[in-house]
Amino acid sequence: MKTILSKNDIFKLISQKPPLIESYVALDEQLQPNGFDLTLKEVAMIQSGGQIAASNTQRQISSLRPLAFDGTDNIDLVAGTYVITFNEIVNLPKNVMALASPRSSLLRCGVTVHTAVWDAGYSGRSQSLLVVYNPYHFRLQRNSRVAQLVFFELAEETEGYNGAYQGENIKRG
């Protein structure tokens, strides 16, 4: 029977090549008993409409406008939707998939993170939707832990993700 990966399992996979997770901010703080906390790299506003169709050839992703952090690496967000980019690059083996949830502190502030499935074989620096429901505002600091990624070992290896977002937001030398 395959299971959710523990802190020790995750640490072992981080130590392999390629590492399960790279470009993290503070391993000791981010490695959790049941997952790994993802941290905030960038925040952007959605600037256009988008389209998902039956064929990927008709897909139109909304354009984004990056927002600037202040001199203390904070950003004040009014109620609304934002696209966030994580610091971490995730390299999933072909027998591991992942799901993410917002950290509970966000929820207690009237903010959430919506994510998609991280398919086995995916490699990239992912983006998610941050929604501020709080009508007063929400202050967020760069490198804050905003979501926890939980890893699931599959019963068998798959062919691996090979979609449009493979390798997203990674600049390699």
Which amino acid, residue 57?
Answer: T
Residue 173 pLDDT exceeds 60 = no
pLDDT at 69: 98
Residue 20 in contact with residue 120, Cβ under 8 Å? no
pLDDT at 78: 97
Using pLDDT thresholds of 50, 70 and 90, give the confidence band for residue 148.
very high
pLDDT at 55: 85
pLDDT (average), residues 5-13 = 96
Residue 21 in contact with residue 90, Cβ under 8 Å? yes
pLDDT at 39: 98
pLDDT at 2: 66
Helix (H), strand (E) at residue 107: helix 104-108
Residue carrying structure tokens 């980019």: 85
pLDDT at 57: 84
pLDDT at 172: 63
Domains, the chain, in order of start with CATH, read 7-47+59-153 (2.70.40.10)
Residue 133 pLDDT exceeds 60 = yes
Instruction: With 0.75 as the threshold, say if the pTM is over it.
Output: yes
Rounded distance, CA 160 to CA 85, Å?
22
Rounded distance, CA 10 to CA 21, Å?
9
pLDDT at 59: 87
Mean pLDDT for the chain? 95
Using pLDDT thresholds of 50, 70 and 90, give the confidence band for residue 45.
very high
Would you list the DSSP string of 76-87? EE-SEEEEEEES
pLDDT at 143: 98
Interacting residues of 56 by C-beta distance below 8 A, sequence separation 6+: 164
The answer to whether the bond into 18 is cis (omega within 30° of 0) is yes
In tens, the pLDDT along 71-119 reads: 999 999 999 999 999 999 999 999 999 999 999 999 999 999 999 999 9
Rounded distance, CA 99 to CA 112, Å?
15
pLDDT (average), residues 143-149 = 98
Using pLDDT thresholds of 50, 70 and 90, give the confidence band for residue 19.
very high
